[in-house]
Every structure is written in structure tokens, then in C-alpha cells.
């Protein structure tokens, strides 16, 4: 029978087989690994779904996505990360900082020191160099443990189109023996035949959604904001995404990161000035669209960009936020 055509009976049989063979627990859901987020989106990122991660520039979208990639690779599931902005060495340094930072949260561990270790001209091995960073050697062991599960694709806006993404996914599927979680960083860089922004976005977002369905795995894509939305002091929403109508329509889950300082109600900034400065160290993640649960939920995560990471545990936001409107289809 045509692969696309099925009956409920055949679907029940497939589910039953999956449950009996023990592939059930891990099979359909990929956890983000961020505490508090997974239960809100149906247990994690679901097979066949497109998850968009948006936010103003520099808010940590790549960091958040890389941390999700690392969480999955560390749990033994392959990940393919298409990076249009950073090369493999850059990302590896960030992974080392992330691991060392989780092992030692003190200010002694910094992404900058890891970067300079890589750049030093003296001749010595990586593990020897990492001895000078607190928890550096342990961090290397952790990264090495999942290093073969995390595939990095150095993507370019002139070459990496949807077809190239598809064939890289196939290649990783062969190598890893199972379908990878796909991360696209970032969507508006995917090469398209269209020149018009809206047509480009529509082509790419539809292509990524089709890919998620075809491979029966989640696709996590970072989406850039319109220039207007990048003004600080304004809360970015999903309708600020470039080509927003197609993006928000096709996506199953839309997550938007904002800096807490920019989006708490004014009275929190004026009545407690000392405390207000601390808001700058937090990102607020809003679930703006959610096909697998309630939308409108918000969680805050402490940022440790000096260590290339977020704190993994999300907490509730106690303060009132500006602009409570959320996108609806």
C-alpha cells in the first residue's frame, strides 16, 4: 500500500509493535532537557513536529539550541545541527565551556579562557591545555562521550538549501543507524530560489515541516525577527518573525526568548532598582504556540553566556510582564 495511506488498524498495530519492542519510551519524543519546559510541550519535541525558536539578536537562541542538541546527544540520540553562523571548532569550544560551567559554576570557568586555550600557539595536547581550566579535563571527557552522536554541518546561505539539508539528514541516518534530531540555525539563511522575504520563509518553513513529517523526528529551527522587533525595551512576539504568517501557521510549537529586563512591567524596574539589574541575567521563554498543550506559558532561565550556556532549570516568572497578547491562528 502507498506509504502515505494507512488505516487506524495499521496505525494501532505499529504502535503496539513499538510498545512491545521497548522502543516506545524514547521513540516519539525528544526531550529538550530544560527543566520545566518538556511537560509544557507534550513531554518534549514530538516526532514530525516543527519547533521554532525565536528571539531578538544575541538573546541566546543558538546557545539554547546547542544545549538541547547536547542534551539529546548525551542521552545517546543522534543530532544533526545545521549551523550557518558558527564553525565546528567554535561550537566545540562552546560545548566544553557548557560542560565545565555545569561542573563548576564559579566565575573561574569562562568560554573566553577555553577559546584562548585553543588559540595559544604553544605545542601541547588539548587535554594538557584544558588542565588550566577548572573542570576542563572532566569537561573534555563529557564532550568526548557524546561527540560521535552530535553531527555538525557547516552550512552556507549560498549552498545549503532544503535538498542539501535532506541529503545530510539521510547521510547521518545511515551513519548513526537511526533518525537524528534536526536543528537548523537559522531558518532565514536556508538557501531558497525566491528573492522575496515572505516567499522564501514560506518555502523554507513548509520544507522543514515536510522534512519533520518525512523523517518522523522533530525539526528545531531558529527564526530571526523583523528589524522593528529588535528594538530593546520591546517584547518580541511570534508575529514579529520574518514572514510571520507562514512561520506561525506551519510550526507546531513557537518558543520566543526575551531578556527579562526588557519585558517586565515598568513598576518592577522603578520600585526596586537594585533588584531590577538582576533581571538582565534572565531570559524569559514564552510558549507562543503549542499544538501539544496550553499556549501562553512562560518560564525563566538564568543565562550564563560567559560559560556558553543557560541554567538547565526553568522557574516560574513572578513578575508581571508587558504585552501579554499571544499569537493565535
At how many degrees (to 10) do helices 197-215 and 162-176 cross?
20
Least separation, in Å, of the C-beta of 186 and ligand ATP?
A: 7
**CA–CA gap between residue 168 and residue 180 (Å, rounded):** 10
We find the least distance from the C-beta atom of residue 161 to ligand ATP, in angstroms, to be 20
Q: Which of 6, 11, 15, 57 binds ligand ATP (CB under 6 A)?
A: 57
**Using the rule CB under 6 A, which residue among 44, 45, 46, 62 binds ligand ATP?**
62
Determine contact, residues 205/212, Cβ cutoff 8 Å.
no
Do 54 and 222 contact (CB within 8 A), yes or no? Answer: yes
Nearer to ligand ATP, 4 or 232 (CB): 232
Q: Which is nearer to ligand ATP, 57 or 106 (CB)?
A: 57
d(CA 85, CA 155): 8
Q: CB 55 → ligand ATP: shortest distance, Å?
A: 6
Q: How far is the CB of 304 from ligand ATP (least distance, A)?
A: 9
Does residue number 58 form part of the binding site for ligand ATP (CB under 6 A)? Answer: yes
CA distances from 206 to 270, 273, 284, 293, 299 (A): 44, 45, 28, 22, 28
From 56-64, 70-78, 118-126, 245-253, span contacting ligand ATP (CB under 6 A): 56-64
> What residues pair up with 256 in beta bridges, in sequence order?
54, 286
Residue 263 within binding range of ligand ATP, rule CB under 6 A:
no
**C-alpha cell at position 91:** 561550537
Q: How far is the CB of 310 from ligand ATP (least distance, A)?
A: 9
Q: Nearest approach, Cβ of 114 to ligand ATP (angstroms)?
A: 9
Give the Cα separation of 318 and 298 in Å (integer). 10
| Segment contacting ligand ATP by CB under 6 A, of 19-27, 61-69, 132-140, 246-254 | 61-69
Element spanning 265, H or E: none
- Shortest distance (Å) from residue 185 CB to ligand ATP: 7
6-14, 59-67, 243-251, 314-322 -> range binding ligand ATP (CB under 6 A)? 59-67
Secondary structure element (H or E) that encloses residue 137, with its range: helix 136-146
User: Smallest distance from the beta carbon of 284 to ligand ATP, in angstroms?
Assistant: 14
Strands 309-310 and 50-54: unpaired
Q: List the one residue from 32, 63, 93, 259 that touches ligand ATP (CB under 6 A).
A: 63
92-131 residues in contact with ligand ATP (CB under 6 A) are 111-112
**What distances in angstroms separate CA 214 from CA 57, 170, 219, one per listed residue?**
31, 11, 11
DSSP label at residue 311:
-
Count CA atoms closer than 13 A to 102's CA, side-chain side.
19
CA distances from 290 to 40, 61, 173, 314, 317 (A): 9, 18, 28, 18, 19
Site for ligand ATP (CB under 6 A): which residue of 90, 210, 306, 319?
306
Which of 171, 305, 312, 321 contacts ligand ATP by CB under 6 A?
Answer: 305
Grid cell of 40 as nine digits: 509544557
Residue 286 near ligand ATP by CB under 6 A: no
Positions touching ligand ATP (CB under 6 A) are: 55, 57-63, 85, 111-112, 305-306
Amino acid at each position: 500500500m502507498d506509504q502515505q495511506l494507512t488505516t487506524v488498524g495499521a496505525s494501532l498495530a505499529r504502535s503496539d509493535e513499538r510498545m512491545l519492542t521497548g522502543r516506545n519510551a524514547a521513540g516519539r519524543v525528544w526531550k529538550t532537557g530544560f527543566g520545566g519546559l518538556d511537560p509544557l510541550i507534550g513531554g518534549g519535541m514530538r516526532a514530525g513536529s516543527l519547533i521554532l525558536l525565536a528571539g531578538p539578536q544575541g538573546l541566546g537562541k543558538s546557545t539554547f539550541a546547542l544545549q538541547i542538541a547536547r542534551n539529546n546527544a548525551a542521552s545517546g540520540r543522534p543530532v544533526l545541527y545545521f549551523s550557518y553562523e558558527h564553525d565546528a571548532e567554535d561550537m566545540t569550544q562552546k560545548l566544553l565551556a557548557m560542560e565545565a560551567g555545569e561542573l563548576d559554576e564559579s566565575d573561574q570557568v569562562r568560554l573566553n579562557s577555553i577559546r584562548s586555550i585553543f588559540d595559544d600557539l604553544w605545542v601541547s595536547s588539548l587535554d594538557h591545555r584544558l588542565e588550566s581550566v577548572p573542570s576542563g579535563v572532566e569537561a573534555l571527557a563529557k564532550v568526548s562521550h557524546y561527540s560521535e552522536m552530535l553531527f555538525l554541518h557547516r552550512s552556507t546561505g549560498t549552498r545549503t538549501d532544503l535538498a542539501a539539508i535532506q541529503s545530510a539528514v539521510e547521510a547521518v541516518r545511515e551513519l548513526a543507524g537511526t533518525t537524528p534530531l534536526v536543528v537548523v540555525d537559522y531558518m532565514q539563511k536556508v538557501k531558497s530560489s525566491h528573492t522575496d522575504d515572505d516567499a522564501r520563509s514560506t518555502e523554507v518553513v513548509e520544507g522543514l515541516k515536510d522534512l519533520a513529517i518525512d523523517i518522523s523526528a522533530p525539526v528545531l529551527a531558529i527564526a530571526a525577527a523583523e528589524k522593528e522587533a529588535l528594538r530593546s525595551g520591546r517584547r518580541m512576539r511570534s508575529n514579529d518573525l520574518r514572514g510571520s504568517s507562514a512561520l506561525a501557521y506551519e510550526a507546531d510549537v513557537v518558543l520566543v526568548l526575551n531578556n527579562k529586563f526588557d519585558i517586565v512591567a515598568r513598576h518592577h524596574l522603578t520600585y526596586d532598582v537594585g533588584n531590577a539589574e538582576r533581571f538582565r541575567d534572565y531570559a524569559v521563554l514564552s510558549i507562543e504556540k503549542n499544538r501539544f498543550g496550553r499556549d501562553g506559558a512562560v518560564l525563566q532561565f538564568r543565562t550564563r553566556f560567559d560559560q556558553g550556556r543557560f541554567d538547565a532549570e526553568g522557574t516560574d516568572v513572578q513578575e508581571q510582564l508587558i504585552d501579554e497578547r499571544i499569537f493565535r491562528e
